[in-house]
Structure 1
């Protein structure tokens, strides 16, 4: 079931609130008079015309409405009710949630009720998380006047009903007190429907079913459609406003939640109250679920490299350790052998140490990599060897005790690795010259590991390979995560991307390292690969390619294919492969085998490039 939420309430003096709301024009004099004793208040008076209630902190009495849905599980139970007699203001919602804690409320959809309680604002994840709030009633009592009443008609979400513009621009400030403009901004439109019944019909799935039994649909399937049926995230100013999360209020024993992949559809009608949470924003809490139309999305397989082509891949294997079930090792191995056609070199990310998240000082990952290479051999793949450098304990981020790092696999029958001693967790690799060509002081070696840019983050791993007599330098990366950034649906607009600063600094260091290689040999063959945790249009990628020393291969793909990760219904780019200018033309492929599927071996799609020296 979806993650529960604790109660959270504001307390503010009643008189102050009424005066402020009256001065701001959020309530009428008649409403303020009735609100003084809590009587005569309707749901639209509680919701108001901004994101926070003008009656927050007040007691209200005998608010009328019809119960539309009941949440009967978890520690955040309650019910939604809606006024069947709405006002004529598109900015005011006619629905609201009544929070009852761990107690299942004794009401049913169709009950006509009078509800009394305290108006409050709940911030999913806490107010400091930066998300929007949900107006709710707490400490509530109610009277059921009649049962079996028809539910208010659901508002249908369509491409014309949801504005393309996502949010008002508050120059990074809060939009909470701005008057809602539901005809202009998508976030305002959703807020104006908070707690009300909404519906989507024949909805395209753009985010696969996750472990919490949630999926993402879009009300505008034609907008920025990927080749395989997703929704492409291609710019900060266009986050695809028609995306909505779908969860279910129907007991799973009664109606199993659909297991959907991107490109599938929920045919018919999916309807329920519009909620908001910290794991995806606006959520249609379904009391009616459409029927899954399985469009049988296929996992891709790339072609095998020719004998004179070097194939280099990158794959985030998502917290892999010996404690990971063997089935995942087998799936990763099968993908490397079959879907990726046994690349010559593989840059791996999120390789954990030999006891996983046990926080006991173990940092070596030999058992993890042996288990993976054994699985590859068992799947009919090459006898891969590996190279890696263990980090200082708990200094590279990720799950505590896991000590994730990047690592190389390589097929010694196709390529050789130039081992140069001296590389360790804290010694920076230097660029040297040998016989007029660029070389490394240590191979493998870590790029500027002591620089503050790598604090609590993975350090790049550089290695020198040889293919058909040509030296190739590969730098495996896993830049810092987006943790701490404000969400797209934040109440602060545009949202702050604080983690971007560190990634940009990291990109500058890698860019500088590549420049050193090219200064030593302008014809040096350099491939920078890995999970950079940022988009092709981000400041970090601009810093990484500055000076035209690297080409981001994703920019050479057709627009509809520029993605390898799906987050909250947005198909996007986090993993990259970049090449130095001497490498020239390559055959590059993002191999879609994970991100679009409910059944994943990793949350990232791997990538491969093939190059003929």
Structure 2
């Protein structure tokens, strides 16, 4: 199968054999009879110039070098490629020179490197051009050939480009990233995409509807699979075969960078383009035969989010202390020894089958929560023990006891259920736990009771908290945990509308509206404007329910702080889990992070897959303790000194960057509560900014100033001296620093370049800005700034190097530097 598209362009730097290099191919002994001396049809003629071979249902003879053999594992065939093709040599531009030979009769008689003549019938098998070869229709030809070389270059992003390489040997280069590993546990396949980031869920990026459809259509062209060269199901008939690719040391996470170290063959099956190793692999294969390596991106703990306090949301994936063996009617998922592991159906329990498996699940959840060590934690998908005739808080208290036992002291407490409860509830619920040496609940918790919006979901649970020992009115805040209706079912107005939001979106919109009203009620009752909404909203960031909350004034903290994404579904990464803050509460937020311990991990590491495969992947650690990732937020509670500026309203062009600058401690503004965004920033203030960006390192300024115009009593003497000693500034030739002078845009580029350590960088020969020419002052530094996305210049193509920097623009430059270069969130 091929395409009449533009011929592929191969990089000139590829390492291949020269066209004149000829070798003798070793010939394996063959018991097959010779094919008749028919006219040879080239593989390119078989593939043709469309996505269907022009020779379908025709019997032809062709020849080529064997590049891959799949004698075991279910593919029952091999690939051949026209001798001398691949690498830089492309005698048939736009047409594939490879062919899959389906031949259970002859696959056992060929070896990689053989040169063969085969006769068979051409067909299209679910999109793959193949030849079916019967016993006696193969001849191994002793000849001297130019061997096949793998194509090395970027993997094509289009189906047309991929069809040009169908069944050919290739070893992709460039940036490639894991975008899905859901089927790694079952079929030994890993979904990839070109670039450095996984594919995103459309409605986490763009609005639902036509924009989302277009975004996903573009996504669908980008992914491809690295496979195992087999059709084995490792969770069923292949349970006793060690699963390939995965291990505790090599978890193959979504977001992992991929490097191909061995050639593969590109095949098409099950509606996917697949890079197969040249022979089937398993977890017991020689590591040298594994075609790719993957970076291990696991982190031991969430990133620091600052603040005196932290709050987090964690969906604990059906944590049930009532196990299936306690109930009548439960059926179970079993391991390969037929031992029950988790509840399948037949009863209301949804978690572990027995105490042994509950402990496995609990150990992972405990490891995750105690490592997060947050002041307050909301929980979703924890058992509502009242559904089993027990105290409603039994499962919650069981988890808290396990957390404290692991910690070795009474670290955690649970917020008790309120007296007023819904008449009917789901078997799963939400809850709060907290550390009582940091915060204390004020009053009782409260569940939203007077709304029908949540009849098919978990009703919101509110609790007011304040810091331990607080004597300042206004430090209290209301936290409301949520778990909206899922996307999996719905009819009528709740049917999937095809706009990217899934089923039951109409109900989730009603739930968002009811939540806003509930939060307003809680604000009034508790006499505070400080509110945090958190939990599993089952809505991506750009969907209707999140817009309703945003229109009500709630700020998505994860989006504002670029915290990361909490969920992976169908090879797309996004966030269903959110932490939002009212404007007054947001002013006190210091940072946020999604700790990717679950969604990006293979399900093989989950307790529910214990002993499913010959390789037992279970470990009592935090990784794959759930299917959602926890989202952690840092904040301060200083009602007497909130972070806000009277002259920076929420609709200011650089509002988020200025607030981030303040929350990061880089600026405090003026005593009158202003930031003065349109003022020029002085060189002295710039020194202070850089010093704070560096974390205010210990530094003793010299007794004598280096600069004639900066006295030792200058407000920024220490920072200016530090900046000079770090080589960030040299001052002026006359020995001055000119601390009150504005920072010009050209000098600003030089400062950032030096702060970054003056990295090796070759500036482009052609100017990127019409007013900054090669060889001019700070040309290299300005070009580097542009390459890092710190400055984009003006719409008219100028940089304006002599213009002074305004304080709001400097906030944007620092924000971009810290995120794009320093790698902070």
Structure 2 length as normaliser, TM-score?
0.48
In structure 2, the residue matched to 1:429 is 449
In structure 2, the residue matched to 1:407 is 430
Distance 2:244 2:4 in 1: 45
SS at match of 1:270: coil
**1:246 aligned to 2:226?**
yes
Q: Where does structure 1 lack aligned partners over 5 or more consecutive residues?
A: 1-20, 27-37, 123-132, 164-185, 355-360, 397-402, 432-446, 485-495
Contact 1:595 1:605 in 2 (8 A): yes
Q: After TM superposition, give the deviation of residue 464 of structure 1 in Å.
A: 1.8
Contact 2:479 2:531 in 1 (8 A): yes
**1:286 aligned to 2:282?**
no
Contact 2:123 2:129 in 1 (8 A): yes
Q: After TM superposition, give the deviation of residue 566 of structure 1 in Å.
A: 5.0
In structure 1, the residue matched to 2:565 is 563
* 1:345-389 Cα shifts (integer Å, max 9, x gaps): 31324x4688xxxxxx97989775455333212221413356599
Contact 2:445 2:463 in 1 (8 A): no
In structure 2, the residue matched to 1:474 is 480
Candidates 372, 375, 382, aligned match of 2:402: 375
SS at match of 1:480: coil
Contact 1:208 1:260 in 2 (8 A): no
Q: Indicate how the Cα distance of structure 1 residues 296 and 303 shifts in structure 2: closer, same or farther if over 3 A, else same.
A: closer
Within 5 Å, give how 1:201-600 maps onto structure 2: 201=173, 205-206=177-178, 210-212=184-186, 213-215=188-190, 219-221=194-196, 225=197, 237=215, 239=219, 244-249=224-229, 259-261=250-252, 269-278=261-270, 281-287=272-278, 288-289=289-290, 292=293, 297-303=298-304, 309=309, 311-320=310-319, 321-323=351-353, 324=357, 326-338=359-371, 340-349=372-381, 351=382, 369=396, 371-380=398-407, 381-385=411-415, 405-411=428-434, 413=436, 414-416=439-441, 429-430=449-450, 448-450=453-455, 459-468=457-466, 470=476, 472-477=478-483, 479-481=485-487, 500-502=501-503, 504-517=505-518, 520=521, 525-533=530-538, 535-536=540-541, 538-540=542-544, 543-545=547-549, 547-558=551-562, 561-565=563-567, 571-585=573-587, 586-587=589-590, 588-597=592-601, 600=623
Distance 1:317 1:371 in 2: 14
Distance 1:81 1:411 in 2: 63
Distance 1:201 1:343 in 2: 45
Q: After TM superposition, give the deviation of residue 343 of structure 1 in Å.
A: 3.9
Cα RMSD of the aligned pairs, angstroms, is 4.9
Q: After TM superposition, give the deviation of residue 462 of structure 1 in Å.
A: 0.4
SS at match of 1:200: coil
In structure 1, the residue matched to 2:769 is none
Q: After TM superposition, give the deviation of residue 504 of structure 1 in Å.
A: 3.5
Candidates 133, 136, 140, aligned match of 1:146: 140
In structure 1, the residue matched to 2:168 is 196
Q: Indicate how the Cα distance of structure 1 residues 554 and 67 shifts in structure 2: closer, same or farther if over 3 A, else same.
A: same
Q: After TM superposition, give the deviation of residue 410 of structure 1 in Å.
A: 2.0
Q: After TM superposition, give the deviation of residue 330 of structure 1 in Å.
A: 1.3
Q: Indicate how the Cα distance of structure 1 residues 204 and 84 shifts in structure 2: closer, same or farther if over 3 A, else same.
A: same
Whichever structure has more strand as a proportion of its residues is: 1
* 1:116-160 Cα shifts (integer Å, max 9, x gaps): 1351332xxxxxxxxxx44444585673322687753222232xx
Q: Indicate how the Cα distance of structure 1 residues 318 and 243 shifts in structure 2: closer, same or farther if over 3 A, else same.
A: same
Whichever structure has more helix as a proportion of its residues is: 2
Q: How many pairs are equivalent?
A: 478
Contact 2:4 2:49 in 1 (8 A): no
* 1:308-328 Cα shifts (integer Å, max 9, x gaps): x4x432223345423345233
SS at match of 2:274: strand
Q: Where does structure 2 lack aligned partners over 5 or more consecutive residues?
A: 6-37, 207-211, 233-240, 279-288, 320-350, 467-474, 491-496, 606-622, 640-825
SS at match of 2:263: strand
Contact 1:315 1:604 in 2 (8 A): yes
* 1:102-122 Cα shifts (integer Å, max 9, x gaps): 996543323324141351332
Distance 2:316 2:275 in 1: 32
Q: Indicate how the Cα distance of structure 1 residues 201 and 315 shifts in structure 2: closer, same or farther if over 3 A, else same.
A: same
Contact 2:315 2:380 in 1 (8 A): yes
Contact 2:152 2:171 in 1 (8 A): yes
Distance 2:424 2:41 in 1: 61
Contact 1:271 1:284 in 2 (8 A): no
Q: Indicate how the Cα distance of structure 1 residues 266 and 608 shifts in structure 2: closer, same or farther if over 3 A, else same.
A: closer
Q: Indicate how the Cα distance of structure 1 residues 89 and 303 shifts in structure 2: closer, same or farther if over 3 A, else same.
A: same
Q: Which has the higher contact order (CA 8 A, sep 6+)?
A: 1
Q: Indicate how the Cα distance of structure 1 residues 461 and 162 shifts in structure 2: closer, same or farther if over 3 A, else same.
A: same
Candidates 624, 628, 633, aligned match of 1:609: 633
Q: After TM superposition, give the deviation of residue 475 of structure 1 in Å.
A: 3.6
Greater radius of gyration (CA): 2
Q: Indicate how the Cα distance of structure 1 residues 565 and 62 shifts in structure 2: closer, same or farther if over 3 A, else same.
A: same
